[in-house]
């Protein structure tokens, strides 16, 4: 397989210039791939896939018939981001998460931004992710969203936009770490010749930021709280706990006594200080949120409010990633930081505003409509790819509950070459970098590149047939690190 | 450590050991077939050792090699088939992935996926010896990985405890069933066929060579003594109980020194330490083994109450 006949078909391609020749960031990779013997690329793709199965890096699709675990489709051609591009993204993401954290502190506290009329109060009141139970509460260290995954897309002119903020348990970072492990085996030579920034610091940083929440306690006990082995992201929960070296717990491994949280261990009860919870707010504590939840821990929120345990992310932070609040994020950034946003939003129409709704209804066939409180690619309409009947049905839904919908013009997502039927074809991608807010803010250099593997599709969610790729961020120093003889010998063995 | 994790890793150890022991039983019976040509080997004893003849006869009207192998190896409805054991071990490992090493998880997951592959099932019936050797190797490999890649901490101790108790149980079962089948009539003692079969018993627990280092002739008396009372052979009941007691002490001494499980294992171990094979045979080997198995089951219950509840 060679890149000689690759056609960008007029889209912005992350690796190729419009004429199909490689961008500077991709030159080393392309020359390596073009130098491989016939069939070798397919063999490496296959080896990568079987590594996923062996590792059990699988997920379950809700509602799928056979109920078996599947691997997330993985394409071995990486997406590469230049040092200059990353510098801007890094700054922009820091700015955005810092502003959103101010916003959360404010709306659960003084509500200045509402009084000043920057964000309409009605939008907060009607947001299903808003938790009145958290009003006037300041979480440990004033941090609400400890882990954020921000979805970015790149338009046809190469500009990055924020598509979505994810502040409640964003998943996928384990794929970033595993994809890298597998790609190192797939293209060892390229790694030694390209200054690719490593990602394996993530779990160390994560644990540091979690322990920071219990500052003052000598070796605080940190746990990861999972809904259990049948959750679609269970693999990730276990992986993160393992890599951080902390316990993975289910709700019934924990018990609250006198406003303190304990784990049931073989030595009796042991106090827990920090919980990285991967359970939605609704299910966290049946005493406070949904009373029918069996996944959570009764009394947890009381312990949290008493300051005896820290939760990451804080309950109620989902209000900041509501898709209707999203429209106001540029204003939120200006309001709290006095700066202009470094990464723009995709222009968004909020259907709650009747003028904007009218525009959406009239142009629905050109727009992407999303439910404000859904994720995973559920509850959305891609206008240009839908039939007239589908559009009409969606119009009815919008009219019935305008608060629940936003719309965006269809963005022509950038593409990356993928191996499709024994040749290279471009497929649309997005990018989800991960941001950890702790003592300092850490941004994982790279992130999850999700790819819509169906020809022409722009829906990248794994639940909708999307796959993923490794994401390389190049270091500013474009020279590859020097390697000793041992490394060179290893590479020769692998060739 | 979390009680739930301790529970899972203990059963992980048990299921891996059980899968290996079933493979050993099957493999030896297949070998015997080659040593004693011309007659169909009875598979009932193997079915009986592994535990469920009743269930077998609900599914099949009579015993053939083919249906015995399928039932014992790949039948997911039989909770003691090799595949069921590996699946249960994998499920336990999946629930505690964060507590075990990646190498351990990958090994178990890979083997599980292999067993589920219809091609592998076909190959197993075509060249069974090869296949059952693989299962035994898998058991040994897993134990080696646990030993060599994990902290020798509580989790490790629970895995080891599970392995040892399961092994003690399986060795006693094998001996019990064989004794019962091979010595229905005292006049048969000493026939050629007899020696071949007793050697087979030894081989099924990998004990043949080690046995020869201690005894010059294969008699039921010697075999029973070796498999029950040897202090050196790693699959003898006494050895397993000695080690299990030591392991349980490591787990419990700090916090649960008065636990019932510790008391009971001490009692069983002491009994086996201070009993001779002549006394056991005089009391009746079958009766004695039954008593040990009852104690082991009781021990399992106490371990559950002391640590997992």
3-class SS letters over chain B = CEHHHHHHHHHHHHHHHHHHHHHHHHHHHHHHHHHCCCCCCCCHHHHHHHCCHHHHHHHCCCCCHHHHHHHHHCCCCCCCCHHHHHHHHHHHHHHCHHHCCHHHHHHHHHHHHHHHCHHHHHHHHHCHHHHHHHHHHHHHHHHHHHHHHCCCCHHHHHHHHHHHHHHHHHHHHHHHHHHHHHCCCHHHCCCHHHHHHHHHHHHHCCCHHHHHHHCCCCCHHHHHHHHHHCCCCCCCHHHHHHHHHHHHHHHHCCCCCCCHHHHHHHHHHHHHHCCCHHHHHHHCHHHHHHHHHHHHHHHHHHHHHHHHC
Coarse DSSP helix, strand, coil percentages of chain A, rounded to the nearest 5 percent: 35, 25, 40
Distances (CA, A) of A433 to A81, A362, A442: 12, 34, 11
Contact B94 A246 (CB under 8 A): no
Q: What would the DSSP string read from start to end of A195-225?
A: -BPP-TTHHHHHHHHHHHTTTTSSS--EEEE
Distance CA B199, CA B108 (A): 32
Distances (CA, A) of B61 to A294, A394, B33, B56, B57: 46, 60, 22, 9, 6
**SS3 per-residue string spanning B42-70:** CCHHHHHHHCCHHHHHHHCCCCCHHHHHH
* Mean pLDDT value across residues B259-286: 92
Give percent of chain B above pLDDT 70: 93
Contact A248 B1 (CB under 8 A): no
| Contact between residue A54 and residue B110 where contact means Cβ atoms under 8 Å apart | yes
Parse chain B into domains and list their residue ranges. 1-150, 152-309
State whether residue B302 sits within 8 Å of chain A by CB. Answer: no
Sheet bearing A274-277, strands edge to edge: A247-249, A222-225, A274-277, A310-312
Query: Which residues lie below 8 Å from residue B95, measured CB to CB, with a gap of 6+?
Result: A229, B4, B8
Give percent of chain A above pLDDT 90: 64
Contact B2 A267 (CB under 8 A): no
Q: So what's the pLDDT on residue A66?
A: 47
- Residue A395's H or E segment, with its range, is helix A388-400
B118-126 and B65-73 helices, crossing angle to 10°: 140
User: Which residues from A are below 8 Å from B261, CB to CB?
Assistant: none
Q: Smallest CA–CA separation between A122 and chain B, in Å?
A: 44
Q: Smallest CA–CA separation between A118 and chain B, in Å?
A: 45
> Tokens 């060739």, residue?
A495
Q: Which residue of B has its CA nearest to A69?
A: B113
Rg (CA), chain A: 23
Contact A246 B98 (CB under 8 A): yes
Q: So what's the pLDDT on residue A71?
A: 79
pLDDT tens string A169-215: 898 999 999 999 999 988 988 888 889 999 989 999 999 999 999 99
pLDDT tens string A287-346: 999 998 889 999 999 999 999 999 999 999 999 988 889 999 999 999 999 999 999 999
Q: Smallest CA–CA separation between B245 and chain A, in Å?
A: 17
Q: So what's the pLDDT on residue A403?
A: 85
User: Which residues from B are below 8 Å from A57, CB to CB?
Assistant: none
User: Which residues from A are below 8 Å from B8, CB to CB?
Assistant: none
3-state secondary structure of A164: strand
> Tokens 């949290």, residue?
A304
Least confident of A50-59, A223-232, B245-254, B291-300: A50-59
| Contact between residue A456 and residue A463 where contact means Cβ atoms under 8 Å apart | no
From the list A281, A56, A65, A254, the residue with the least C-alpha distance to A169 is A281
Instruction: Choose the most confident range, by mean pLDDT, from A61-75, A159-173, A302-316, B50-64.
Output: A302-316
B154-182 and B285-303 helices, crossing angle to 10°: 160
Contact A266 B254 (CB under 8 A): no
Q: So what's the pLDDT on residue B12?
A: 97
Q: Smallest CA–CA separation between A182 and chain B, in Å?
A: 14
| Contact between residue B23 and residue B136 where contact means Cβ atoms under 8 Å apart | yes
pLDDT tens string A427-460: 999 999 999 999 999 999 999 999 999 888 888 8
* Mean pLDDT value across residues A456-485: 76
Q: Where are the beta strands (DSSP E) in A308-440?
A: 310-312, 344-345, 349-350, 367-371, 380-382, 405-409, 415-420, 423-432, 434-437
Q: How many residue contacts between A and B have a Cβ separation below 8 Å?
A: 63
Higher pLDDT, A316 or B180: A316
Mean pLDDT, chain B, rounded, equals 88
Contact B97 A238 (CB under 8 A): yes
- For testing contact with chain A, the best of B1, B4, B86, B157 (most A CBs within 10 A): B4
| Residue A489: band (very low, low, confident or very high) from pLDDT cuts 50, 70, 90 | low
| Residue A67: band (very low, low, confident or very high) from pLDDT cuts 50, 70, 90 | very low
| Structural domains in chain A, sorted by start | 24-129+141-198+321-339+411-494 (no CATH), 347-409 (3.30.1490.270)
Query: Which residues lie below 8 Å from residue B194, measured CB to CB, with a gap of 6+?
Result: B182, B188
- For testing contact with chain A, the best of B2, B109, B150, B158 (most A CBs within 10 A): B2
> For A433, how many CA atoms within 13 A lie in the half-sphere containing its CB?
27
User: Which residues from A are below 8 Å from B251, CB to CB?
Assistant: 266
* Mean pLDDT value across residues A115-133: 92
State whether residue B48 sits within 8 Å of chain A by CB. Answer: no
Residue B176 has pLDDT above 90, yes or no: no
Distance CA B70, CA B84 (A): 12
Higher pLDDT, A433 or B117: A433
Nearest CB to A53 within list B113, B255, B307: B113
User: Which residues from B are below 8 Å from A242, CB to CB?
Assistant: 97-99, 102
Q: Which residue of B has its CA nearest to A267?
A: B255
Distance CA B81, CA B18 (A): 9
Residue A252 has pLDDT above 50, yes or no: yes
Distance CA A264, CA A270 (A): 7
User: Which residues from A are below 8 Å from B2, CB to CB?
Assistant: 247, 249, 253, 263-266
Distance CA B81, CA A315 (A): 46
Mean pLDDT, chain A, rounded, equals 89
* Mean pLDDT value across residues A74-97: 96
> For A346, how many CA atoms within 13 A lie in the half-sphere containing its CB?
27
- For testing contact with chain B, the best of A56, A66, A243, A250 (most B CBs within 10 A): A56
| Contact between residue A372 and residue A380 where contact means Cβ atoms under 8 Å apart | no
User: Which residues from B are below 8 Å from A253, CB to CB?
Assistant: 2-4
Q: Smallest CA–CA separation between B112 and chain A, in Å?
A: 10
> Tokens 């059952």, residue?
B132
**Tokens matching residue A162:** 């924020």
User: Which residues from A are below 8 Å from B307, CB to CB?
Assistant: 266
Q: So what's the pLDDT on residue B245?
A: 96
Nearest CB to B94 within list A229, A266, A268: A229
Q: Smallest CA–CA separation between B1 and chain A, in Å?
A: 5
Q: So what's the pLDDT on residue B147?
A: 94
Q: Which residue of A has its CA nearest to B97?
A: A238
Distance CA A83, CA B274 (A): 74
Distance CA A71, CA A68 (A): 10
* Mean pLDDT value across residues A346-375: 87
Higher pLDDT, A484 or A42: A42
**Tokens matching residue B240:** 């397993």
Contact A248 B99 (CB under 8 A): yes
């Amino acid at each position: 397989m060679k890149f000689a006949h690759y056609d960008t078909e007029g889209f912005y391609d992350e690796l190729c210039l419009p004429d199909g020749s490689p961008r500077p960031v991709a030159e080393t990779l392309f020359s390596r791939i073009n130098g491989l013997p016939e069939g070798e690329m397919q063999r490496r793709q296959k080896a990568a896939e079987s590594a996923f199965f062996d590792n059990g890096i699988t997920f379950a699709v809700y509602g799928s018939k056979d109920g078996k675990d599947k691997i997330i489709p993985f394409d071995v051609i990486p997406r590469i981001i230049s040092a200059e591009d990353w510098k801007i993204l890094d700054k922009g993401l820091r700015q955005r998460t810092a502003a959103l954290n101010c916003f959360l502190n404010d709306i659960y506290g003084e509500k200045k931004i509402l009084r000043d009329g920057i964000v309409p109060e009605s939008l907060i009141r009607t947001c299903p992710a808003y938790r009145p139970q958290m009003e006037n509460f300041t979480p440990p260290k004033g941090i609400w969203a400890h882990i954020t995954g921000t979805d970015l897309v790149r338009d046809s002119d190469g500009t990055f936009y924020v598509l979505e903020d994810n502040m409640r348990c964003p998943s996928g970072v384990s794929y970033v770490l595993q994809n890298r492990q597998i790609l190192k085996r797939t293209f060892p030579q390229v790694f030694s010749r390209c200054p690719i920034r490593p990602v394996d610091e993530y779990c160390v940083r994560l644990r540091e930021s979690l322990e920071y929440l219990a500052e003052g306690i000598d070796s605080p006990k940190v746990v990861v709280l999972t809904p259990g082995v049948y959750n679609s992201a269970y693999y990730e929960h276990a992986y993160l706990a393992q890599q951080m070296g902390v316990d993975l717990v289910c709700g019934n491994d924990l018990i609250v006594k006198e406003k303190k949280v304990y784990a049931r261990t073989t030595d009796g009860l042991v106090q827990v200080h920090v919980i990285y919870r991967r359970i939605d707010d609704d299910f966290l504590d049946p005493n406070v949120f949904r009373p029918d939840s069996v996944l959570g821990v009764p009394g947890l929120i009381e312990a949290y409010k008493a300051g005896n345990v820290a939760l990451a992310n804080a309950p109620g932070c989902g209000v900041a990633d509501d898709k209707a609040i999203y429209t106001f994020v540029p204003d939120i950034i200006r309001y709290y930081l006095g700066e202009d946003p470094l990464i723009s939003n995709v222009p968004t129409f909020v259907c709650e505003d009747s003028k904007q709704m009218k525009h959406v209804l009239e142009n629905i066939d050109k727009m992407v409509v999303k439910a404000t409180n859904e994720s995973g690619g559920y509850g959305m309409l891609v206008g240009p790819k839908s039939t007239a009947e589908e559009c009409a049905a969606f119009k009815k839904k919008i009219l019935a509950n305008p608060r629940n919908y936003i719309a965006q013009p269809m963005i022509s997502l950038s593409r990356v070459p993928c191996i499709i039927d024994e040749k290279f074809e471009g497929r649309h991608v997005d990018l989800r970098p991960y941001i950890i807010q702790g003592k300092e803010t850490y941004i994982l250099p790279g992130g999850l590149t999700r790819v819509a593997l169906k020809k022409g599709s722009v829906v990248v969610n794994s639940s909708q047939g999307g796959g993923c790729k490794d994401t390389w961020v190049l270091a500013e120093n474009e020279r590859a690190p020097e390697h000793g003889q041992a490394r060179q010998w290893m590479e020769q063995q692998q060739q | 450590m979390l009680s739930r994790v301790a529970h899972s890793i203990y059963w992980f150890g048990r299921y891996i050991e059980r899968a290996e022991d079933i493979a050993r039983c099957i493999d030896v019976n297949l070998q015997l077939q080659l040593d004693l040509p011309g007659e169909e080997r009875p598979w009932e004893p193997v079915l009986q050792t592994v535990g469920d003849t009743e269930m077998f006869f609900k599914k099949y009207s009579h015993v053939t090699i083919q249906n015995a192998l399928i039932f014992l190896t790949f039948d997911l409805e039989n909770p003691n088939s090799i595949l069921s054991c590996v699946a249960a071990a994998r499920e336990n490992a999946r629930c505690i992935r964060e507590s075990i090493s990646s190498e351990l998880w990958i090994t178990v997951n890979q083997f599980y996926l292999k067993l589920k592959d219809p091609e592998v099932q076909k190959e197993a019936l075509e060249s069974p010896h090869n296949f059952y050797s693989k299962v035994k190797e898998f058991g040994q490999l897993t134990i080696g990985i646990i030993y060599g890649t994990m902290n020798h901490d509580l989790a490790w101790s629970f895995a080891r405890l599970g392995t040892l108790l399961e092994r003690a149980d399986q060795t006693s079962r094998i001996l019990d069933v064989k004794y019962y089948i091979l010595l229905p009539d005292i006049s048969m003692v000493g026939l050629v066929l007899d020696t071949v079969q007793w050697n087979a018993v030894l081989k099924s627990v990998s004990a043949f060579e080690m046995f020869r280092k201690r005894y010059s002739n294969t008699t039921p008396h010697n075999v029973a003594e070796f498999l029950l009372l040897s202090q050196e052979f790693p699959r003898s009941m006494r050895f397993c109980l000695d080690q299990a007691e030591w392991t349980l002490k490591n787990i419990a001494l700090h916090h649960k020194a008065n636990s019932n499980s510790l008391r009971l294992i001490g009692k069983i171990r002491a009994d086996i330490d201070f009993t001779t094979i002549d006394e056991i045979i005089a009391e009746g080997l079958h009766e004695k083994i039954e008593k040990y198995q009852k104690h082991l089951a009781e021990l399992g219950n106490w371990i559950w109450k002391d640590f997992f509840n």
